Amino acid sequence: MDKDAKHKASMEKQKTNVDASIAAADTDKSLVVLLTGNGKGKTSSAFGMVMRAMGYGQRVGIVQFIKGEQLSGEELFARENLPQSDFYQMGTGFTWDTQDRQADIDAAQRTWHEASRMLTDPNYDLVILDELTYMLAFGYLSESEVIGTVDGRPPHQSVVITGRGGGAALQDLADTVSEVKDVKHAFNAGVKARKGVDY
Ligand code: ATP
Ligand code: MG
């Protein structure tokens, strides 16, 4: 068999397998997606889904549970282009080197209040809970409350949760779990975080 014929046969076989898998996936339901792991790409993937959903005119709610050193491009974009009520950023100074535990807990609870409002509002088709896993890891939010609220969301609403770790209960709840593996990151070679790529 020449190269072209071989390629054609292989593609035909692949198509048969893919078509069979597509036909077998006949459940139509909303999803919980957990993006975890130590590599770069979790938050940016979540915002890829924001763009995707908005392309279909879906209503999206975004909640970020950690305030970075500087405003992120996604926050700047959302402030300009999304109605303010759809984007909630924890703000109030939560950073990695915070010293005030009680203030962090209060900020986490305030932010969760906003998230649970979205998770009970059927007007949202997609809710992003960016960096939520840290709030669970630190014990700032109740895992059972978070899981119960996400599980009890409006039936058509999908949820994307990002952050390292996340725990077994969250993984059990999620329909799709991706672990982004850190193979190499420029920061470890001394390269500064890059505007538009890293933030
Ligand atoms: P991104 O927002 O780029 O999708 P992320 O959400 O997967 O990244 P986070 O753990 O939330 O990653 O960290 C956010 C910031 O830290 C980003 O600027 C990202 O480039 C950087 N970062 C992510 N992973 C690593 C890593 N393994 N080493 C160093 N810096 C990292
Ligand atoms: Mg992130």
Tell me, what DSSP letter sits at residue 155?
T
Q: How far is the CA of 153 from the centre of ligand 2 (A)?
A: 23
Residue 96 resides in a domain: yes
**Does 80 reside within a domain?**
yes
Q: Torsions phi, psi of 34, nearest 5? A: -110, 120
Give the model's pLDDT for residue 26.
82
Total tally of structural domains belonging to the chain: 1
pLDDT of 147-194, one tens digit each?
999 999 999 999 999 999 989 999 999 999 999 999 999 999 999 999
Atom of ligand 1 nearest to the CA of 47: 4
Name the residue with the closest Cα to ligand 1, atom 22: 40
> Taking every pair of C-alpha atoms in the chain, what is the biggest distance, in angstroms?
71
Give me the domain span that covers residue 92: 32-189
CA distance 90 to 79: 14
Long-range contacts for 188-196 (Cβ within 8 Å, ≥24 apart)?
195/73, 196/73
Query: Which ranges of the chain would DSSP assign to H, the alpha helix?
Result: 3-24, 42-55, 73-81, 101-119, 132-137, 143-151, 167-173
Q: In what order do the strands lie in the sheet with 126-130?
A: 87-89, 60-64, 126-130, 158-162, 32-36, 176-179
Residue nearest to atom 23 of ligand 1 (CA): 40
Q: Is there a domain that residue 106 lies in?
A: yes
Partnered with residue 64 across adjacent β-strands are: 89, 130
**Ligand 1 binding pocket includes 43 (Cβ within 6 Å):** yes
33, 35, 40: which to mutate for ligand 1, most atoms within 8 A of CB? 40
The model's pTM is 0.90
Mean pLDDT across the chain: 90
Look up residue 192 and give its DSSP letter.
P
Residue 198 lies inside a defined structural domain of this protein: no
CA Rg value for the chain: 20
Who contacts 63 (Cβ-Cβ below 8 Å, separation ≥6)? 88, 89, 111, 114, 115, 118, 127, 128, 129, 130, 132
pLDDT at 17 over 80: yes
Q: Is residue 4 part of a domain?
A: no
Whether residue 14 lies inside any domain: the answer is: no
User: Residue 99: inside a domain, yes or no?
Assistant: yes
From the CA of 38, the nearest ligand is: 1
CB of 75 shorter than 6 A to ligand 1 = no
90-123 residue pLDDT tens: 875 555 556 678 888 998 999 999 999 999 999 9
Any atom of ligand 1 within 6 Å of the Cβ of 185: yes
Q: Using one digit for the tens of pLDDT, what is the confidence trace for 39-62? A: 999 999 999 999 999 999 999 999
Write down the pLDDT at residue 100.
79
Which atom from ligand 1 is nearest to the alpha carbon of 193?
18
Q: How far does the centroid of ligand 1 lie from the alpha carbon of residue 127, in Å? A: 21
Question: Which pLDDT belongs to residue 147?
Answer: 98
Q: Closest Cα to residue 85, out of 56, 51, 121?
A: 121
CATH number at residue 63: 3.40.50.300
Separation of 105 CA from ligand 2 center, angstroms? 20
Distance 37 CA to ligand 2 centre (A): 10
Is position 70 within any domain? Answer: yes
The model's pLDDT over 57-92, given as tens digits with 9 standing for 90+, comes to 999 999 999 866 667 899 888 888 876 568 888 875
Separation CA 44–CA 194 (nearest Å): 13
Return the pLDDT at 133: 96
The Cα–Cα gap between 158 and 80 comes to: 24
